Structure 1
């Protein structure tokens, strides 16, 4: 029997209402060589970018990573619950808006960044077209999305144990590994300059860590009972092994707005 289609708009609204800040709590402790995915994404942005838009900003982790005295970072999210937490941490500016209809003028920003937005905002072609509209010529668009490569089979043991208890894989509104994103750039004025990947690791040391890592997953078809089984299994592993590692592969995709500008620089 076919499963009913997922109402992603309703699911995402409920997810962020019930768990505001959960993505930041996990990603801030997800490390590779001592840096987080937020730090890697921030390195793609030129230091000469003065007006930056952070799409699907959550509670503002990217904005804080990008903060400079001469820079304004505008956080954009549809979730009022996430934005409420963001406002408690930094003054913003923050916009409650759809990424496919940004309340910004044409060619008015130097860079756009997004952690996970490319797999959440759908259709991605509309999102990319809007990014191309608001970027100035030579401006940069950089986003990150989860992937599979370059994980090794040994990295997957713990994740597969979690999935076995959930009886489902995490799901997203948009595709991850199978898309090259390049076709979605057609007609946007954006040109790919980088598609890189990195392995990150989250250390599960406490029961709260186990709860957080399961709560951070998009599991629209998974019951509460299965979530509890996955958490209990992780807690049991930490009690036995003390430090359990969840491995996550992330992909950094960077594009430039076609045109000329003295401020356009390649990502680091």
Structure 2
């Protein structure tokens, strides 16, 4: 399996896909598409715990101020970035966005991934990325989806991919309980950046040399519960379990093959 692409190819692919998504709502708009003149703003605050970095056996508190603005097909989101989304009444949806990846620090950080045990590995600088998602509803309660995150500028850290299934376990007027099961993959540069150890890094750190190839590096299961109080207030509780495998499981940087992320958020929409 080979996921390798050049930075120039990523920029061109990003531009073409953004253009296609921009044209799609005009050419294929359906009743399921957001109204062109409707604007929705959501403010929120999320709190939880997350591993210090991918593969870490230590955790750090997570505080996430959240802002989401939706105007027709356009959105600006502190989680997803800035972009376009499209949804048809046949159950197909797609989005394209520009976002920013924080990278990884070689010391403990309260605002980005990193840990003191990574000293000598060097920082992984941030990178501007293009995110593309596709989803197709198979049944009333089941959909298949995929995501590609392509590096556009900044750190040459490669590209990552995700594909999986999402099922609605329960849905009422006030509550929605869903389960998403995904496989996470990276090209050779991405896996080497986050899980590999070069000879130079090995000499500066406590880790032995390790070379990661392209392929799946983890599987995850995410349980999400959204509760709506009224037209404005809602909460979200999320638990994500990740199991590192294949290209990551033998990496000396992965101190624990299984990890969890817990998050609780309260949101106000107006």
TM-score > 0.5, shorter chain as reference: no
Larger proportion of strand? 2
Larger proportion of helix? 1
TM-score, length-scaled by structure 2: 0.29
Larger RCO (alpha carbons 8 Å, 6+ apart) = 1
Structure having the higher Rg? 2
